[in-house]
Structure 1
Amino acid sequence: MAKVSSTELGTESIGKLLIKQAIPASIGILVMSLNVLIDSIFVGKWIGSIAIAAINVVLPVSFFIAALGMAIGIGGSSIISRALGAENQKKALTTFGNQITLTVLITVGMVIPGLIFIDDIIPGFGGKGAIFDPAKIYYTIVLYGVPFLALCMMGNNVIRAEGKPRYSMIAMIIPTIGNLLLDYLLINVLDMGMYGAAWATTLSYLMCFAYILWFFLGKNSELKINFSHLIPSREIVSEIGSLGFVTLARQAVVSIIYLIMNNILFGLGGEALVSVYAIVGRMLMFVLFPVLGITQGFLPIAGFNYGAKKYDRVRESVNKSIITACVVGLLVFLLIFFIPDVFTRLFLKNDGSLTAEELKTNAVILAKAPGALRWVFAATPIVAVQLIGAAYFQAIGKARPALLLTLSRQGFFFIPLILILPGIYGETGVWISFPIADILSTIVTAYFLNREIRRTSGIKIDS
């Protein structure tokens, strides 16, 4: 693999850079999304649809703790990209060292109470009735591996900030392949059920951590830290915190949404509707991978060039990222709109071993999931404006607007809608909340993004 320098972020054409950054990021996200998708398919076919619902209950808790690492990674990476652009190597090293210290201390501190209060947390997130026991098994085992996942998420963002997206891609592929192979071995061959699904996930986190550690200890990384860099700096920690809080707040809102959605849907239709939402959630993770990849690829390009005061290149990166992502979003919408039933059937067990209750649950899922998918993905062609717009403010180090715009879609619009519309329209109210929130947040983000670009460069972005 050819050695890549971060300085290319400020010299190579934006189009080529976006391809170099976005394609590996997209592939990495695709593979990770396939991991979640195929993992759910394996669990659904080899264990049952209730097991999918059980994993869906656990995800917001484990993902929130892991998102602490992602928040520290993205917040610190914004600092690192701008520091490298400004040729401030000392600040980049201190930031990375502080990221490691914060990730270890915070995530381990979160896992302990997470295990102590397990019997209260699982029902609170919708793990009721038949869902509780398999959810508890999965939750307990996976939580032990979450600190390693957090370190992987943190380290992966730093690798991307160095301008080495291919290594970042590999870091995302390794745990996916490991998890799928272990799923087959532990669930299908050894018949370990939920225990097998949980251990496959946890061991895959350890594989990813081993690769991330190898990268930073080897010759490929520009960031060679020593013990002094691990000592927290008040200024650096504060900046990491303010920028990383944007990502953390977004994940916290996602966890709250899972809590609200699982409870509302359980009340409207029991375990079957919770399973429908689990399928919708997996599809959101899977088919949006190219849009998310473009957003991830855009971050280091915008951050580096902003730090180097190359504002025309920053504006160009915004324009090209949004246009490309919107086109991809349109293709995603068309795919979901025409064949939602095909995706739904992938998750369902269909052999002769199904009980009458399982057959009834599957029938409800098949009847309701396709319509839900169409509504949820209805605004996909424009959602890239919101994602990239919010990411732009994070890339340039403006935490407050980044936070507000990040929260606008799921916090300020979606949560109020999901609390109001189901009371008026029932189950349909749940699903139409998604596109309404997407449209409103896109309008708000486009306004503030356009204003900021004009203030910085004096040139209005393309509409």
Structure 2
Amino acid sequence: MEQNSNMGTEKISKLMLRLSLPTIIAQVINVLYNIVDRMYVGHIPEVGANALTGLGVSAPLILIVSAFSMFVGGGGAPLAAIALGKNDKEEAEKILGTGTVILIILSIALTIGVFIFKEPLLYLFGASDVTFPYANEYTTIYLLGTLFVQFALGLNLFITCQGKTKIAMFSVLIGAITNIILDPILIYGFNMGVRGAAIATVFSQALSAAFVVAFLVSNKSIIRIRFKYLKLNAQYAIKTLSLGVSSFTMQVTESAILIVFNNGLLKYGGDIYVGTMTIMQSVMQLLTIPIQGLIQGTQPIVSYNYGAGKYDRLKETMKLSLKITVGATAGYYVLVFFFPHLFARIFTSEADLLNLVAKILPIFMGGMWLFGVQMTSQMFFVGTGQAGKSLFIALLRKVILLIPMAIILPNFFGVMGVFYSEPIADLISASTSGFLLFYSLKKLKNLS
């Protein structure tokens, strides 16, 4: 327990660096699953643009599948960290056991349900007759690995919550490196195209999942998956899902946004604009994913010290986290503003698509410079078990602001209205989240 208890004593800046650096690396590596697929697929001769758009159409389904892993991991891991802060290892293991059972149930339900409704869903998500074959091919194979995705993503957070971020990073590293190696071999070497990208992804996720499970049943893990706790404990299931609903909502509403975006872009602009969104979402991931890594590495510190009643350390953690996240998001936006072509070339070499992305990207990401405030606020409320506020923040940007604007604004500005909705929603939600965070930290001052 020594490494875990250090979260209550070690210098905050040193502790954040030690815990967050591996999770940042892990998150960057993890995003390569989709981004590397898009990079290789987008450069397939003759069909690259349509194939890339097909992957973009399948993205909402993939996000929905992975969102359910966050339902469990995003809620269970902070609860387990809080229990460890109270030195209650048994409760933490019961939470882990319940979460594992829920993930298995969700995997079976998702695989069957999505297979039944896959074709109408893909058309609903913005597929055209031209791009549907590519989206269908990728999604069909990806769904076969649903259980691997749930374990690789959902259970990995139970490793992070122990402070063992290097182990969590390694589990992601195994899969990502495998995917990077297999992608060009299967896509180009065996001429499998989109199908090769999907097979590489599923196989890579299977390796990651196997590593995560192997660690959590070993004596190297502070909390272990034990057979006696592999049961659907109603008390812990309700607590886990109640807290995890905000993390789930953050990701599943991302899927809803892509659906609205893709349909609006297809209606007002055509397939090339759907392809543009696929690239811009990938560029945005290059920003948000490292920040999410910092957030994941910092959250166990917040949860532990909140559970231990060490509010001064908690507040110090939050102040440092805000400085880093806002600085990173602002700096990244400067790069995007001045060098949009550089980011677009990562995913395509087709002139029309390249120029369109370079024109719209600085507008689309116009509010991202302040996005670190929202991500840090979300982490604080999840980490301290405040499910209501974390859910509100999750809903505010995407459901209350972004989706309605993406539907309404195109009526006035055409296809550009879809793109304008993003920066407006980002700025309003980040400002609101910052106010709620400031107010909550001020309340903690009276408890110190």
TM-score of the pair, normalised by structure 1: 0.93
The corresponding residue for 2:43 is 45
The corresponding residue for 1:298 is 298
The corresponding residue for 1:406 is 394
The corresponding residue for 2:411 is 423
The corresponding residue for 2:64 is 64
The corresponding residue for 1:30 is 28
SS at match of 2:219: coil
The corresponding residue for 1:229 is 229
Q: How much has 1:224 moved relative to structure 2? A: 2.4
The corresponding residue for 1:451 is 439
Q: How much has 1:431 moved relative to structure 2? A: 1.5
The corresponding residue for 2:9 is 11
Q: 2:217–2:226: 8 Å Cα contact kept in structure 1?
A: no
The corresponding residue for 1:357 is none
SS at match of 1:138: helix
SS at match of 1:171: helix
Q: 1:141–1:198: 8 Å Cα contact kept in structure 2?
A: yes
Letter in 2 for 1:421: L
Partner Cα distance (1:209, 1:137) in 2: 23
Q: How much has 1:459 moved relative to structure 2? A: 8.8
Which stretch shifts more, 232-241 or 210-219? 210-219
List 4+ stretches of structure 1 deviating above 3 A.
none
SS at match of 1:242: helix
Q: 1:54–1:131: 8 Å Cα contact kept in structure 2?
A: yes
What does 1:219-298 correspond to in 2, within 5 Å?
219-298=219-298
SS at match of 1:212: helix
Partner Cα distance (2:121, 2:376) in 1: 33
Alignment identity in percent? 28
One of 420, 423, 435 as aligned partner of 1:435: 423
Letter in 2 for 1:216: L
Partner Cα distance (2:423, 2:342) in 1: 22
One of 386, 394, 411 as aligned partner of 2:382: 394
Letter in 1 for 2:167: Y
Which stretch shifts more, 172-181 or 235-244? 172-181
Partner Cα distance (1:185, 1:87) in 2: 49
Does 2:102 align with 1:114? Answer: no
User: Residues 114-150 of structure 1: CA distance to partner in whole angstroms, max 9, x if unpaired?
Assistant: 1112221111111122011111111110011122111
SS at match of 1:218: coil
Q: Which runs of 5+ in 1 are unaligned?
A: 350-361
Question: Per the alignment, do residues 459 and 375 of structure 1 end up closer, same or farther by CA in structure 2, a change over 3 Å counting?
Answer: farther
Letter in 1 for 2:380: Y
User: Residues 246-302 of structure 1: CA distance to partner in whole angstroms, max 9, x if unpaired?
Assistant: 111122211111111111001122110000000011111123333222211221110
Does 2:210 align with 1:210? Answer: yes
Partner Cα distance (2:246, 2:76) in 1: 12
Q: 1:35–1:177: 8 Å Cα contact kept in structure 2?
A: no
The corresponding residue for 2:149 is 149
Q: Which runs of 5+ in 2 are unaligned?
A: none
Partner Cα distance (1:441, 1:164) in 2: 32
Which stretch shifts more, 93-102 or 424-433? 424-433
RMSD: 1.6
Partner Cα distance (1:198, 1:48) in 2: 15
Which stretch shifts more, 195-204 or 221-230? 221-230
The corresponding residue for 1:367 is 355
Letter in 2 for 1:422: P
Q: How much has 1:101 moved relative to structure 2? A: 0.1
Q: How much has 1:407 moved relative to structure 2? A: 1.5
Partner Cα distance (1:305, 1:279) in 2: 40
Q: 1:290–1:328: 8 Å Cα contact kept in structure 2?
A: no
TM-score of the pair, normalised by structure 2: 0.96
Q: How much has 1:427 moved relative to structure 2? A: 2.3
Q: 1:69–1:107: 8 Å Cα contact kept in structure 2?
A: no
What does 1:67-78 correspond to in 2, within 5 Å?
67-78=67-78
Which stretch shifts more, 154-163 or 287-296? 287-296
